[in-house]
Amino acid sequence: MNAVLWSWSLAGLIIFSNLANGVMGFGEMDMFNDYNGTNEDNANVLMVGLTLVQAAAAKGAVCLDGSVPGYHLYRGYGSGANNWIIQLQGGAWCDSIQNCQGRKWSGFGSSTKMEKQLAFSGILSDKAAENPDFYNWNKVKVRYCDGASFSGDSENKAAQLQFRGKRIFLAVMEDLMGKGMRQAKQALLNGCSAGGLSAILRCDDFKSLFPPSTKVKCMSDAGFFLDAVDVAGGHTLRRMYSGVVNTQGLQNTLPSTCTSHIHPTLCFFPQYIINQVKTPLFILNSGFDAWQIGNSLAPPSADPSGSWHDFRCTPSQKKFLEGFKMSMLNAVKTFSMFRKNGVLITSGWAHCQAERQDTWFPQNSQAGKDKGITVAVGDWYFERAKKEKL
């Protein structure tokens, strides 16, 4: 597989390659997939307990069912004692009252259903050999229980649903400020999938919590959902996002710099808002994002014959996917020209790469090859890289 690698900005990397011939199977993924944490099998992986934010109830910062939100906190130490990583959990969205009512009976809609412990690996690992730049930082995983990427601020009394994602974000941050984050020297907000979208939407809000002396940056992992045309010529994801925006009234909370000139639904897509984010932001995504291919480009509703289900990379399929990848590259082109930002578009069949150890910093891998994500993110955050073409 041939690949070309460019580097610009501080560590703004674009990787793209030809899609190899072969067989890849996929279907419509479960909306919650592995976003509970990670599916690492290592018995030595760090397990971190759940903390509920009881004070959030008085602020109306509650999950879909009205229960208080929660997070998992691992305390940093040594040189990382005053540095913080905040990871916003992912897990798709609910795009109708019916779907949100179903969701509130899970851990993605109620803290009463959440696991009491989650595994921390990848960028949340506490081991220097697995996470050299961030291993000893304070690390937090904020549970996702609002169904709209921490963006709603409304309710539906008739359906007994609370859409308070934005309040949840602010209430959790306030709680963490009281636990030492106020003294942070360095901070990184990140998230995977729907949490990656959240990291973009809440990035400037996060920055506003800290004094100018604190280095604050954000990273979106697998959160760059494209406003793409599916294999039937429709807009599957746009229809879903329209449901999310209308159900939760997001037209009132999405960035006004976007909603003032285009339809609010489009402002839920990163490509239409990333250039307005003031805080340094890193976009990490696969050009062949597995979730987007299975749920946005070729879901069963757009592929009734099932020709994409057992994917064999026919010439027409390969051309379609190459077009999707190029659309993603074009969508980040202007964004990547800002020196504060970074971009890494990988060519693997993947979704969420920073929270998984096998993609973040694999064991028994070759230096400079498999460890590219860890190095790219670290070089960007700490401003170690120089502009170069490789």
**pLDDT (0 to 100) of residue 374:** 95
Per annotation, catalytic residue among 289, 303, 358, 379? 289
What are residue 34's phi and psi, to 5 degrees? -105, 25
Residue 198: which of 177, 219, 215, 226 has the closest Cα?
A: 219
Read off the pLDDT band of 12 (50, 70, 90).
very low
Residues 110 and 64: their CA atoms lie apart, in Å, by: 6
- Give the pLDDT confidence score for residue 371 in this predicted structure: 59
Whole-number pLDDT of residue 18 = 33
Q: What is the pLDDT of residues 153-212, one digit of tens each?
A: 999 999 999 999 999 999 999 999 999 999 999 999 999 999 999 999 999 999 999 999
Q: Is residue 351 annotated as a catalytic residue, yes or no?
A: yes
Over residues 228-250, mean pLDDT: 98
Residue 50: how many CA atoms within 13 Å on its side-chain side?
Answer: 18
**What are the tens digits of pLDDT across the range 272-324?**
999 999 999 999 999 999 999 999 999 999 999 888 887 778 899 999 999 99
Averaged pLDDT, 24-40 = 39
pLDDT (mean) for 358-387: 78
Distance of CA 77 to the CA centre of its chain: 26
Q: Give the mean pLDDT of 212-223.
A: 98
Q: Which of 111, 121, 193, 198 is catalytic?
A: 193
Question: Any catalytic annotation for residue 193?
Answer: yes
Give the separation between CA 151 and CA 54, rounded to whole angstroms. 20
Predicted pLDDT at 1: 28
Q: How far apart are CA 36 and CA 90, in angstroms?
A: 8
What is the rounded CA–CA span in Å between residue 203 and residue 262?
21
- For residues 90 and 43, the model is more confident at 90
Verify whether residue 261 is a known catalytic residue.
Answer: no
Higher-pLDDT residue of 24 and 85 is 85
Q: Return the number of other C-beta atoms located less than 10 Å from residue 210's C-beta.
A: 19
Instruction: State the pLDDT at residue 313.
Output: 83
Question: What is the model's pLDDT at position 363?
Answer: 74
Q: How far apart are the first and last CA of the chain?
A: 17
CA atoms within 13 A on the CB side of 389: 1
Q: Exposure string (b/e) for 92-122, b if CB count within 10 Å is 16 or more?
A: bbbbeeebbbebbebbbbbbeebeeebbbbb
pLDDT(271) > 50: yes
pTM (two decimals): 0.90
pLDDT in tens, 110-151: 999 999 999 999 999 999 999 999 999 999 999 999 999 999
User: How far is residue 166's CA from residue 163's CA, in Å, rounded to a whole number?
Assistant: 9
Q: Name the catalytic one among 7, 220, 336, 351.
A: 351
